Structures are given as structure tokens and as C-alpha cells.
Chain A
């Protein structure tokens, strides 16, 4: 793949092409037609049109993008020189969990630095508010400790509050972690300095799906959330309000029948955690243990809610051709 890096950068950042559209194209040339990305870009416009059913505008987009490949070769060289790796969705290094969870919405290209083997390990995400309470942070610490003991990777989003606590705790317990960046990977200088030891020891992997030089933006932080949820087999929610990234991430996850654990709050806490539990999340105590006899939710309600959701949103609408 190394020599194809410039092609992948070009394809992955085609303006206004969403992941679904990109992945459909990738499946066509890579899996169905057995073409490398380089060979795909060598095809004529006519072939793009006829063999791939691309519309005029799509062909124009690809033509324009093709001119950028030499420029992206310079960028790719810089990235590799600085130790970043590019993992396209066709690579065996790509996280299987991410692919299974997000399906056609999986990002076409990951920019990473660190131990890529972590991507294939069992993983959990700990999510929650930027202004989390002390209890939420305690919960985060306990979950991280448990993950460390069970040799599970902790995925977090490098935001203040729960995210950073999750990262610091798992590092403290000498476990492994994935940091999902809300920015381009080349703009994470201070982070690479801070987690230098963990990265060279193979305990931390940093991931970004954005253009490598993109600075932090609120939209990118939002766009990053599904990646955090997607990279984990289980999701632990420390604290959620009734809107924002955590909330919408959990709701989306519940719709897709993901395993989501939510901390049972104390009665004096003002959180939307009970609401999430009502909507089908699994309640857990401060130590992450499941509590079968929860006072918040009757067992009969929970599966029904999920079943209803499943009917409306079949979680596997298109064939999986990625592997």
C-alpha cells in the first residue's frame, strides 16, 4: 500500500463524497474488479463512466482529483517520514471492529501513529461530558482499570473531562489506548510529545480520519464521535446530558443494537443517564458491574424498545463486501 498513499489521500478527501459513496466505489474496483487504486486511476474517463456507472460530475471530480496526486505524493512522503502510517479500508491492518460497526459509513482512510496491532484487539470506549462530575471521573477510572486488567484497549476522544480521564487512567494502569483525534494528525504535536513514551512502547495508537493538516474544529469533533463508538466493541457512558455528542452517539448506537453500558447516577445527579437506560442502554454501577434489579427500568421494557428499533433500522442494509 505504501506506494499508493498519494492515491488514497486523493480519493479519501474527494470533496463532498461521503463515506458511503466512497466505499461503494472502493468495493467496485477493489473487490469486484480486482483493481488496485493505482490501476483504477489509470482508467479512462469512458471506463469510469461505463464500468462504474459514474455520473458526469463524479467523473469530473475524479479527473480534478487525479491532478492532485503528485501534490499528495509530497504530503504522503512527509507523513511517512514523520512516522505516520496510512491505513486504507482495504488493508488487513484496518480495524475489523470499526468496519463491522460502521459498515458503509466506515472512513476510507485512517491516519495513524503508534502500535497498529492495537486496532485488532478487544476494545471498549469510555465516553461522557467535558464537564464531568467527580463521580463520573471515578467511574471512568474504574472502567479503565478493569479494561487494563482484562487486557482491553480503551478508546477515547482526547477531549477534556471523561475522555482525558479515560486516557490518563489506562496509561496509569499500563493498559493500551487509542486516541481518536478531532483534528488532522499532523497538528497533534504537543500530544505526541506528551505520550511519547507510551507511543514508542506500543501502548498508545493515535488515529485521525481528517486531512492531516486540518486544525481542531467543532464539526470535526462531532464527526469524530462515530469513530470512537465504531472502534469499540463495548461502550461505557459515564455521563450524558440530553443533547450533544455523547447523547447522539449513544442514541445512534442503541439504534444499531450496540452494547452500551451507562452508569447509574446517584439520585441527586442531573444527568440524562436514566433516559439512556430507558432507551435500552445497560445500567452499571460505579465499578461497571451490571445491576439486574435496577430501579430505573423494568426488564420487560428494555428488549421491546430495542426490538422496535431494530425493525425500523435494520442494521445491515447492504451486503458486506469489505473483507
Chain B
């Protein structure tokens, strides 16, 4: 097919007049059955490089993509053009996915987007035996490299698949962010005969700023004063889920229309927020970096980071979502010297200690076990276990097998010893990347050039649109008025305890503070574990304030408190004081009738929940029937204890059980 013939079809089907040269080069190779790695910036039009050949080639094109939002978005656009495209992903019901897989088998779909994790699914694997496959696309191909910024173990299987595909079946791998090292890794993993097309990465419509601050409050103040002055709508990226909540509440407090987003939300909420973002419903969406990858919104006018990302690649990828329409976009990074602690902690804490690896290996050697059984046996946190599992699979020490439809981990006979040097090398490489990101803050050269150089694009363009090359530097001016606003905000901000569940009369509760905020955590620790005496009055005042915020004038019949494992009468005394002040009767009849371990020593939710199962009794159960109960504890961690008590009291006929605690932890808090 000649270029002009192709462009005729392009006009008819995609309503686009012509290809860029690099697009056509790629498509030409694909149509000749070659394997191509395409590295082009966001907005270049990489998708067309597989969508076009997909409609030309006979059969179905399968696109492995880790981004559900992108799948949805592209499928919608293709369908509008009359191209039969679908996606299979975990947000759809199994019935929907089955229907789509069935349609793929019978040749009714030309383009199918699918998550790499689906290779573990039997129905999908069965279907792959019957499809007429025309091409395989590996989107976000940097995910296959452990040296990349977003390594995903599920991609390992895609690499193996690509190696097994017959010669002449076209394969396209695409990414917007691959350093030279990652590029080399992709080529090495996918096999030698991969042709590389690398475009330039310069985004000259970006206006880049770094705002140096001394504290978290300065960030809040600058944003409070200025975010509405920025043009259009945008995204505010925070470092943690808790921070998305804090910034959302702050904007709420200031009446700035915004919405919080994180990967922990249910899919319905996530879809609704993504749609809201597309429709400019809010000035900004506040999110962890879970949002935005693959969202094709052309007019994101600003992207602000309140937390320094782990590397220039992460940063380039995240800001890449702005200004796809080519019009100016504001790219702002806040940096306080202590900010680097969070990415440092990620790097340092990224891998569990070696003895935990050994423990997992030893259990797997003993028996064929599933993930849940292994987590229980090893007392590991689920996320730690998953890191270990991924590493052990990567090093070919264990593998995941299907036994009677359930997944088990199997020891690989004759497996090599655990290689810890590779962990050290990865850690060193990540530390180096972080230092380079901090260097971005400190550099006096063109910021865009700095990022492009890091990514291996040495095109000698000079971008002059940052605060080092002509734009005015931004400084934060703190006034008394804003200090007062911050204080007012802190005085009325309490974390919610999410415990509501079908079949339990437990309602969502409230804590007076996050554990790590101000001095709440350290005070609790001193009282609990260093004989520091009763919880002091400031905690009582704060907790009562939280109570009033959440429950207002709600009537309560009774106060109960969580009986202690080790810390004596601290919670009891605290609950008595609350009972005195609120004038709600207190009962001391909720007791532990079996010995439990301290929850904080158990690493995962399965063990915590097992630990407290059936552990509580109420001595006169009949008197709880129809009662509205306030249940008090000091620290809310996994919530397993409160949920178990809620379950038990519901069974005894309690009408409502409302939790109130002094603090709520966030992942990683040391108690």
C-alpha cells in the first residue's frame, strides 16, 4: 500500500488528512510484518500507528495496555468512527467481558484493548486459541523494564508471548518515556529484530515553574491564593492518598471547586471523576499519580505537583498530560527540603528485608500454596508479599501455576539463589534518579531541556519558557490573614473512619486526627508504651470536637470502649471522661474473652481479622437490643477490631454503632 492510498483511507475512516512522516514510517513497517518500538511524546499520535494498520490487516489487533481510562477513551472514539473496538478490563462485569471475548473469537471486533493481567485468565487464554490475530501492540512498553519508572510484572508474560509469536506477525511497542537504558532493556527483552523509531520529546507550549517553600502550609497558602487565577482547569498531584484528602478539604474550606481522586476509589466514582475532569466540572482534580495516564483531554491547562516525584521520567510522564492541544500550559512543582523524604522512603522501603524473602521461599518449598495462605503463614503485609512474589518470579525462583482453577506458587526445581545484588543496583539507580529530580529544582538551565536530556533526547532545541529562561520566578508570600485561615482549617478537619458494610449496623466514624499529624501520634505513643499516664486533655478536647462535627446532636444511649490487650486502663479512663462530659451512660461490660495478640504486631488484614474474630463478649447481651452505641478507642489502624465489635453488637440487636477514636493511622505509621 502506498502512502497516498493509505491517506485516502485515513481521510475516509479517521477523518484525518495525512500522516506525519514518522507515523507513516511506523505504519509502513507494521504493514510489512515487522516489529517496531516507537518512542514518541504524548500527543504525537502513537495510537494511530496501530489503529490504522489494525483496520487494514485481516483479523483482530490485540493491544495490551495497563491503562483502563485510556482503553475506555480510545474505544469510545473508535466506535464513533464506526470501527468495531472493545476493551476487556476489571472495571467491567465478568458477563460484559465474556461477551466481548466471545465477539473477538467470532471475528466481530477489529481492535481489542486488554490489560496484561488478563493473560492469567482462563477464559481469555481459551479464546486466544480461536482468534484470528493480525497484530499485537504493547502500549506503555516502558512497563516491561525494571529500570523504568513504572515496572509492572504482568508485562513479563507479554514479553514471553511476543517472543513466541511467529515471524511476520507485526508487533508494535509504544512509549512516551523511555530513557536510553530502558530502550536498551526493551530491545534486549523483546528480542533483537526490533526496529526503533525515536522522536523528539520537547513540549514547547509548557511554562515550567518551581516554587521553593519551607513548609506544607506555604503550599496550601499559595494554592489558596492563586489556583483560581490560573487559566482553565487542571490537575493537582499530591504524594499520598491522605494528601489528596487534605488538599480537597482545604479547597472545600475555601470554596474552590475541586474533587479528590485516588486509586482506592471504586470504579464508578473513578469513572465519574474522570468524566467530570473532561467536562471541566472543577477547577482542579486532586489526585495521586493514579489519574491521568492515558486520559486524552486536550486542554488540561495546568499541572501542579505538591510533592516532588521520584525521577525526571515520572515527572515528564505526569506533566505530559497537560496542553495536548499545543496551547500554553502551566507546569508547577512545589519543593520543600523535607519533601525528598517521601520518595527516599519509597526507595528505601521499596523492598522488604531479605529474611522475609527467605521466609516466603521456605514456605513455598514446603507446599503448593496460594497467595492468601502464604500471607497468613508468613505474617507479611499484602503489598510486601506481592513485591517479594514479583521479585521471586522475576528471578525464576518461583512461578505461579494453576491447580484446579486456583493460583498457587510453585518452587522452580533447581532455582538459583536469591540475587540481592540486583536489588542494590535498582536502589542505587532510583536514588540517582531522585537526585536528578532534585537537580531539576536547583538547575539554572532550561527546565524542558533538562528533562529531555534526561530522557535521552538530545535534539538541540532550546525551550525558553520556564522560570530559568525568562519567566518570572514565583515566591510565596505568607500573610497573617492566611496563617489564620490555615489554623481555622486545622481546627475543623477530622479523618473519617470508613467501616460501613452491608449487614452490620456499624456507621462510618471519626477520629480527631491522623496519627502522624502535629503531636497526636507522639503523645499517644508516650502514654501507651512509655508509661506517660492518661491521655492528656488536649486530646480529649480534640476528640470531642471531632465527635460534634460528625455526630452533632445525634442521641446516644450508651458508650462502650474497646477493652485493652496491653495498655491498661487508658481507653477506659478516656471513655469515662467523654461519658462525663457528654452525659451519656458508660458500660464496662464489653470484655475480651479470649487472649488476642497486639494487632500492631500483625502485618496483614487477614491475620488481624482472624486475631479478633469472636474475641468479644458483652455480659448482659439483652440490654443492648435497639440501643444506639458510641464505641471509643484510641487508635484506628486496619479497623478489624471495630468491625468485629460492630458485627458482634449488630448480632445482639444494637440499632447503631458509631466509632470515635483519637487517631487514625495511614499506611506505614509506626505505632
Contacts and interface: CB of A to CB of B under 8 A. Distances in A.
Contacts of A303: none
A190 B401 CA distance: 12
Contacts of A3: 163-164, 191
Contact of A189 (B167, B399, B404): B404
B413 A189 contact: no
- The residue among A2, A81, A115 with the most chain B CB atoms within 10 A of its own CB is A81
A69 interface: yes
Contacts of A192: 368, 401, 403
A83 B412 contact: yes
Interface in A57-86: 66-67, 69-78, 80-83
A2 B401 CA distance: 19
A70 B59 CA distance: 12
A231 B191 CA distance: 36
B399 A81 contact: yes
B160 A77 contact: yes
A252 to B, nearest CB: 34
B156 to A, nearest CB: 9
B130 interface: yes
Interface stretch (A93-101, A135-143, A150-158, A193-201): A193-201
B416 interface: no
Given A70-B169, A77-B161, A193 B413 contact: no
Contacts of B128: 71, 74-75
A189 B403 contact: yes
Interface string B370-396: 000000000000000000000000000
B167 A200 contact: no
A77 B164 contact: yes
Contact of B125 (A42, A78, A193): A78
A200 B166 contact: no
A73 B164 contact: yes
Nearest to B59: A70
Interface string B142-185: 00000000000000010011011111110000000000000000
Contacts of A38: 166-167
Contact of B413 (A2, A74, A78, A202): A202
Interface string A1-33: 011011100000000000000000000000000
Contacts of B498: none
A210 B487 CA distance: 73
| Chain B: number of interface residues, binned into ranges | 20 to 34
A107 interface: no
B348 interface: no
A15 to B, nearest CB: 15
Contacts, number: 89
B366 to A, nearest CB: 8
Contacts of B191: 3
Given A74-B129, A83-B412, A190 B404 contact: yes
Given A83-B412, A193-B368, A196-B410, A71 B133 contact: yes
B167 A42 contact: yes
A74 B402 contact: no
Interface string B354-375: 0000000000010110000000
Interface string B269-286: 000000000000000000
Contacts of A74: 125, 128-129, 161
B413 A71 contact: no
B166 A73 contact: yes
A114 interface: yes
A41 interface: yes
A189 B133 contact: no
A258 B37 CA distance: 56
B413 A81 contact: no
Contact of B160 (A67, A72, A81): A81
A67 B132 contact: yes
A231 to B, nearest CB: 20
Contacts of B166: 6-7, 38, 41, 66, 69-70, 73
B119 A200 contact: no
Interface string A31-51: 000000010011000000000
Interface in B414-429: 414
| Chain A: number of interface residues, binned into ranges | 35 or more
B399 A82 contact: yes
B131 interface: yes
Contacts of B367: 196
Contacts of A6: 164-166
A200 B402 contact: no
B547 interface: no
B129 A71 contact: yes
A236 B28 CA distance: 63
Nearest to B132: A67
A73 B168 CA distance: 13
A248 B42 CA distance: 68
A42 B168 CA distance: 9
Contact of B161 (A73, A200, A202): A73
B450 interface: no
A153 B373 CA distance: 35
A83 B157 contact: no
A200 B410 contact: yes
Nearest to B128: A74
B411 interface: yes
Contacts of A77: 119, 157, 160-161, 164
Contacts of A42: 167-168
Given A41-B166, A74-B129, A202 B404 contact: no
A70 B365 contact: no
Interface string B322-353: 00000000000000000000000000000000
Given A189-B402, A196-B367, A75 B129 contact: yes
Interface in B247-264: none
A199 B411 CA distance: 10
Contact of A82 (B131, B365, B402, B414): B402
Given A6-B165, A71-B128, A71-B130, A114 B404 contact: no
Contacts of A7: 166
A83 B401 contact: yes
Contacts of A70: 133, 165-166, 169
Nearest to B163: A3
B125 A200 contact: no
B413 A200 contact: yes
Contacts of B400: 81-82
Nearest to B412: A83
Interface string B219-238: 00000000000000000000
Contacts of B412: 83, 200
Contacts of B168: 42
Nearest to A203: B413
A207 B429 CA distance: 44
A196 B164 contact: no
Interface in B121-136: 125, 128-133
Interface in A103-123: 114-115
Given A69-B166, A200-B410, A81 B132 contact: no
B158 to A, nearest CB: 9
Contacts of A115: 413-414
26 contacts: A6-B165, A6-B166, A38-B166, A38-B167, A42-B168, A69-B165, A70-B166, A71-B129, A72-B129, A73-B165, A74-B125, A74-B129, A74-B161, A75-B129, A77-B119, A77-B157, A78-B119, A78-B125, A81-B119, A83-B410, A83-B412, A189-B402, A189-B403, A189-B404, A200-B365, A200-B411
The 9 closest A-B pairs by CB, nearest first: A74-B128, A73-B164, A70-B133, A69-B166, A77-B161, A189-B404, A189-B403, A82-B401, A73-B165
Given A192-B401, A200-B411, 17 more contacts: A5-B164, A6-B164, A38-B166, A66-B166, A71-B131, A71-B133, A72-B129, A73-B165, A75-B125, A80-B160, A114-B413, A189-B404, A193-B368, A196-B367, A196-B368, A196-B410, A199-B413
Interface of B: 119, 125, 128-133, 157, 160-161, 163-169, 191, 365, 367-368, 399-404, 408, 410-414
